[in-house]
Amino acid sequence: MRVKEQSARRGMRSMTVVMPLCRLHRGIFNEQPERRWNKQLSKNFELKQEKVALMTEKVKNAKAMLVVSYKGITVEEITALRAKCRENGVEYVVYKNNLMLRALDNLGVHDLDHLLVGPCAYAFSDSDAVAPAKVLSEHIAQAKNDKIIIKAGLVEGTYMDAQAVDALAKLPSRDVLVSKIMGSLNAPITNFVGVLSATLRSLVYAVDAVRKQKAGE
């Protein structure tokens, strides 16, 4: 009987030690996932803040930014479009709509808010205000489909709808314009006047499109 009582007592003492250890063990495993989750949420928030800050600077420094919708475009097609954009000093990127909305809000720009729905991509140029419109318009004309549609854009900080962007695309790029003018300097004066006249007609058309847009015509 004494042996049994001693064994029972030892068992009780073992249980009193094991039970707190079990509770501590469960507590550690219950707390760690929550802490890890909170850290991950905090890290994700910081990364988003950093990305929005970079996007804000990109929009702010851009000569032109176009918003386009895309659907059914293949990897090969998007790769070819990005390559063509790079050749012309244009960056074609995809951002989440909610992040772009926050970036635009940082700049006090809300003209594009209603357009940031569905899959959206953006074409930027920080050196040529005409290049994004020209590159995308040429791509759309060659593709002969509606996989990519120009919605609107910001050009030199001014909002332009799709019609105004189309008019802008008809203007010569900066490099082409400089080349034409330099070439015409060695030609008769009539050629030089012709180059300027054609450029001015295109510019007037683009400006008139913007005027009509603002007037609600």
Phi-psi region of 156 (alpha: psi -120 to 50; beta: other; left: phi over 0): left
What are the structural domain ranges in the chain?
A: 1-60, 62-215
pTM: 0.66
pLDDT in tens, the chain (217 residues): 554 455 545 554 544 444 444 554 454 445 566 666 566 667 777 888 899 999 999 999 999 999 999 999 999 999 999 999 999 999 999 999 999 999 999 999 999 999 999 999 999 999 988 999 999 999 999 988 889 999 999 998 899 999 999 998 987 766 666 665 555 555 554 454 454 445 545 554 555 555 555 555 5
Q: So what's the architecture of 62-215 in CATH? A: 2-Layer Sandwich (3.30)
